[in-house]
């Protein structure tokens, strides 16, 4: 079945490894019959800074409250045109792939700026009912529910340095703010990431096997199981949004927020 795929690409060099992986995704997904749209943030010279210029009609010109201005602009259709264009790509997408290098343990600044500006109040956060033990539609619910998301990224270090005892910290923990806090928050199902370690050590001889591995992940974009994050309103958290004491046994850190074998079923949205 034909799907709409949105690729957000954040690397300043088109001929980079990340650029090559983006091209593989476009070619493979198109060959599989899908429709692919790419936002090449550097080529677009996408504005990364979230500021008052993001709103065509300020509600308060004397003091900037970005969240409130964002909400009013979204509801009043007075957001900057580039924000509206990216939100439309998200709304149209069945799956979103974020292609970027890990820089300083996170995403490049231009991609973080895309997140801050495009995932606006009323669009991706601050939605749903608040009160009576409910904290809105987030963490598994929200306006982006029904979409899949996957990170495809490169790292400079070897995989063992991103393990549980590795000096860099566990990769799942490093990516938790992105995968859980940015993608799962507005409702997207998040697939395990595709990661290329020791990116600068990759050679032309390594490329065929790396390309084949990525193509396999792309072929399974709509069949692979997502990361089993717990639903905020699924019954596993108390009314203060703290994980109930009978859950998470045997795990620690961010892994307690994954559904485990034997956990009670969650209430679905």
Q: What is the mean pLDDT of residues 164-176?
A: 94
- 222, pLDDT greater than 90: yes
Q: What is the pLDDT of residue 92?
A: 97
Q: What is the pLDDT of residue 136?
A: 87
Q: Residue 140: which of 131, 128, 151, 152 has the closest Cα?
A: 128
Give the pLDDT confidence of 85-133 residue by residue, as tens digits. 999 999 999 999 999 999 999 999 999 999 999 999 999 999 888 877 7
Q: Residue 234: which of 259, 260, 200, 252 has the closest Cα?
A: 259
Instruction: Please state which of the ranges 81-90, 210-219, 227-236, 250-259 shows the lowest mean pLDDT.
Output: 250-259
Q: What is the pLDDT of residue 106?
A: 95
Q: What is the pLDDT of residue 245?
A: 92
Q: What is the pLDDT of residue 131?
A: 79
- 269, pLDDT greater than 80: no
Structural domains of the chain, ranges and CATH numbers in brackets: 4-227 (3.40.50.360), 230-269 (no CATH)
pLDDT band at 2, cuts 50/70/90? Answer: very high
Q: What is the pLDDT of residue 203?
A: 85
Q: What phi, psi does 224 have (nearest 5°)?
A: -65, 145
Which residues make beta-bridge pairs with 40?
9
Q: What is the pLDDT of residue 252?
A: 83
Q: What phi, psi does 70 have (nearest 5°)?
A: -60, -45
pTM above 0.75, yes or no: yes
């Amino acid at each position: 079945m034909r799907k709409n795929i949105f690729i957000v690409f954040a690397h300043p060099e088109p001929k980079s490894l990340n650029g090559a992986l983006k091209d593989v995704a476009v070619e493979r997904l198109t060959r599989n019959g899908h429709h692919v749209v790419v936002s090449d943030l550097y080529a677009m010279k996408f504005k990364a800074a979230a500021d008052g210029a993001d709103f065509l009609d300020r509600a308060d010109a004397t003091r900037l409250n970005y969240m409130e201005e964002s909400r009013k602009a979204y509801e009043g259709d007075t957001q900057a045109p580039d924000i509206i264009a990216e939100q439309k790509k998200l709304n149209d997408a069945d799956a979103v792939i974020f292609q970027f290098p890990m820089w300083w343990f996170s995403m490049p600044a231009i991609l973080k700026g895309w997140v801050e500006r495009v995932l606006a109040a009323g669009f991706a956060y601050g939605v749903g009912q608040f009160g009576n033990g409910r904290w809105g539609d987030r963490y598994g619910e929200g306006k982006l529910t029904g979409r899949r998301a996957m990170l495809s990224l490169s790292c400079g270090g070897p995989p063992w340095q991103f393990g549980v005892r590795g000096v860099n910290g566990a990769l799942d923990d490093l990516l938790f703010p992105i995968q859980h806090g940015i993608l799962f928050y507005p409702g997207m199902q998040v697939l395990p990431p595709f990661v290329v370690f020791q990116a600068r050590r990759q050679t032309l001889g390594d490329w065929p096997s790396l390309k084949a591995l990525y193509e396999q992940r792309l072929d399974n974009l709509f069949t692979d199981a997502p990361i089993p994050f717990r639903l905020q309103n699924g019954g596993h958290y108390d009314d203060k949004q703290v994980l109930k004491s009978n859950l998470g046994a045997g795990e620690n850190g961010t892994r307690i927020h994954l559904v485990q074998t034997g956990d009670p079923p969650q209430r679905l949205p």
